[in-house]
Amino acid sequence: QIDMDIENGEVLPVEDKKVKKEEPTVPAEESGDRKDAGSATEGVPEVKVKMEPEENVKGEPIEEKIEGTKVPEQGVGDAKIRFPSPVFSSRPAKTSLMLSELSYRTGPTIDLYPLENYTFDSKPPEIKKDKTVTDRLLRMEANYKQRGRRETVEGVLITHDHGFPHVLLLQINSAFFKLPGGRLRPGENEVDGLKRKLTNRLASIHEDFRPKWEIGDLLSVWYRPTFEPYHYPYNPPHVTAPKERRRLFLIPLPEKCLFVVPSNLKLRAVPLFELYDNANRYGPVISSLPQLLSRFHFNINR
């Protein structure tokens, strides 16, 4: 007697009915694929494969231990080959060590205090040595012949307004901005010179009310290769003797202090987003401050 099955409207021969159908023993994800295949696999006898423990060439079984995230080892003669695995191991995986070494790290921390914590006053005007930029460059050229390269130091003072960092800038007239600082005297080091310049520009004439300046990290170094207004954050390779070296230092501010500014200058708190990519208004040095300060973590004190 011939048994027949009907599938998709066709008469097909069926395998011997004596073959007992068994449930698949493959993993769940594979069995799901087989079920989706329909009757293409129906009637096919399942073969159970008994998995024996692996042995090395010496005929010894290989032991595997579950110890968190480990790497199994299989023996090949006297050598061992390591196969990465998220579960089995005989020693810690290198990836877990790398993740611990690459843990999140913040940069140096700067304490910022509200702008309203500081008091502002004025003092007698500062005597201007130059009326125009051209006059200043001519004077710089004359000093270069006598003293050599001009060494300039400037301070970056940061506060916050409504939780956002602001940089304190000196405004001359209505359109020119600069950082507080100036030229070093011959033989004067940058720390003493910058403290002297900050006191002249921002501190009271009375010593008891002057802030105790702290000189922080060096943020950047700029060079003026010729007696022109252009500065670069490197010394051009064709220039052997730059005419000016300009160094910017971070100045951590105390929680409260008094700023006293010459009456012909104005001290402005300018937000970082105003400085960013705004060289047309602030020049390339000041407009680079958002990038220079991005490596710091700002601790906003209310």
Sorted by where each starts, the structural domains of the chain and their CATH numbers stand as 120-300 (3.90.79.10)
pLDDT for residue 131: 86
CA distance 245 to 181: 13
Query: Is the overall model pTM greater than 0.85, yes or no?
Result: no
- Give me the numbers of helices (H) and strands (E) for the chain, helices first please: 7, 17
Dihedral sign (CA 29, 31, 36, 41): positive
- Is-contact 175 208, C-beta < 8 A? no
Q: Tell me: the pLDDT tens digits for 236-251?
A: 999 999 999 999 999 9
Angle at 171 between CA 228 and CA 173, to 5 degrees: 80
Which among 49, 50, 97, 51 is positioned nearest to 71, based on CA atoms? Answer: 97
Question: Is the per-residue pLDDT at 282 higher than 90?
Answer: yes
Dihedral sign (CA 88, 90, 93, 97): positive
CA distance 166 to 149: 32
Q: Tell me: the pLDDT tens digits for 200-232?
A: 999 999 999 999 999 999 999 999 999 999 999
